[in-house]
Amino acid sequence: MRLNDSLGRPLRDLRISVTDRCNFRCDYCMPREHFDSKYEFLPKEKIISYEEIIQVIKSALPLGLKKIRITGGEPLIRKDISKLIKMIRDLDDELDIAMTTNGVLLRKNIQLLKQSGLDRVTVSLDSLDQQLFKEITDSNYDVQDVLDGIESAIDSGLKVKINSVIKRNLNENQLIPLIEKSINYDIPIRFIEFMDVGTTNSWNLDSVITGSEMRKIIQQKFGPLVKKNSNYFGEVAKQWTILDKEYDFGFIESISSPFCGSCTRARISSNGHFFTCLFSEKGHDLLSMMRMDADLHDISNAITKIWNNRNDKYSEERKENTKERIPVEMSYIGG
Ligand code: SAM
Ligand code: SF4
Ligand code: SF4
């Protein structure tokens, strides 16, 4: 059965935040002044278990689900994450299973992840310069730890991509080195506009460097860029080619060029709430339903009802939206 929302968009992807914790404190996502030692992360009993995640996926598979992305917080700090991948893989051979990670624990985990049935990994990396990397991530790790992770993933045969958030007056100077590195690795990179997720990252329009501005910088070094057609309905990143190098890469332009019209993504937060938009203020508490003995049929019916009513298009309405909103944090809902 193909389940469509009120704007005709199918439910294809489910992003699952397996933890609200992280070993980084990226300034655009979990700034340390908010996520400090006093911050109350979810207690263990409120975190969705692997069995409960499987129950949600099983309920959504007959509705047309094709892709799962494991995210967070940092998914590789959740204990035995490969077990979850294996449990998902055992449900369906065809399901596309991906993970988004900051990469520093990837090398350690790569063999198990691969054996468990992971298809793809996206590694977030915003700077190749060690000092700037430390400044952005506010962590004890080195940029080399991330590069080791990326290399181990490439060697393992997984499909690998890099994601880079570019913020004005912070890391525009990393655009060129990051592309050069990706060309060198022969993997795609996607540059992401800084988004107004959550309430703690001090977002303002002035700190957004748009995709078009990024392309101007890139063209100065690499010559003409040509826009490609999208590969499939719901593709988030707009694809471009560096003509001289025949190299394809992407831009996720949620601020300057929203893509709500083809948004097929639902999210499960680390406490088991179902969200129909990254910028939602409230989710639907599937975890409580499951803990009150709801069966697969009940969960499937609940998801169907929620998705049928879905009319989110926050990014397209951002400019007109004057109402004071309190969207949930990215680390909790999953990027
Ligand atoms: N910890 C993992 C990581 O960093 O890859 C997974 C979770 S993280 C929330 C997922 C993605 O969201 C990362 O690529 C990160 O760069 C991106 N992200 C977080 N906050 C963002 C923001 N304010 N604007 C744009 N992208 C953001
Ligand atoms: Fe952690 Fe990822 Fe957020 Fe950075 S972007 S703080 S690595 S969850
Ligand atoms: Fe999808 Fe919401 Fe983002 Fe629009 S704003 S693309 S509906 S997650």
Residue-wise DSSP of 172-196: GGGHHHHHHHHHHHT--EEEEE---
Atom of ligand 1 nearest to the CA of 28: 23
Ligand 3 centroid, distance to 280 Cα (angstroms): 9
Ligand 2 centroid, distance to 104 Cα (angstroms): 11
The pLDDT assigned to 189 comes to 98
pLDDT in tens, the chain (335 residues): 789 999 999 999 999 999 999 999 999 999 999 999 999 999 999 999 999 999 999 999 999 999 999 999 999 999 999 999 999 999 999 999 999 999 999 999 999 999 999 999 999 999 999 999 999 999 999 999 999 999 999 999 999 999 999 999 999 999 999 999 999 999 999 999 999 877 777 788 889 999 999 999 999 999 999 999 888 887 889 999 998 888 999 999 999 988 899 999 999 999 999 999 998 889 999 999 999 999 999 999 999 999 999 999 988 887 665 456 666 777 777 66
Structural fold of domain 13-333: TIM Barrel (3.20.20)
Atom of ligand 3 nearest to the CA of 278: 8
Ligand having the closest approach to the CA of 74: 1
Instruction: Please indicate, yes or no, whether the overall pTM of this predicted structure exceeds 0.85.
Output: yes
Atom of ligand 1 nearest to the CA of 330: 9
- What residue type is 27 in one-letter code? D
H-type alpha helices, 96-253: 106-116, 130-137, 143-156, 175-185, 211-222
Boundaries of every domain in the chain: 13-333
The pLDDT assigned to 324 comes to 63
What Cα–Cα distance (Å) separates residue 231 from each residue in 100, 228, 235, 250?
Answer: 20, 9, 7, 12
The SS3 call for residue 263 is coil
Pocket lined around ligand 1, Cβ cut-off 6 Å = 22, 28-29, 71-72, 74, 100-102, 124, 163, 165, 192, 194-195, 197, 201, 330-331, 335
Atom of ligand 1 nearest to the CA of 331: 9
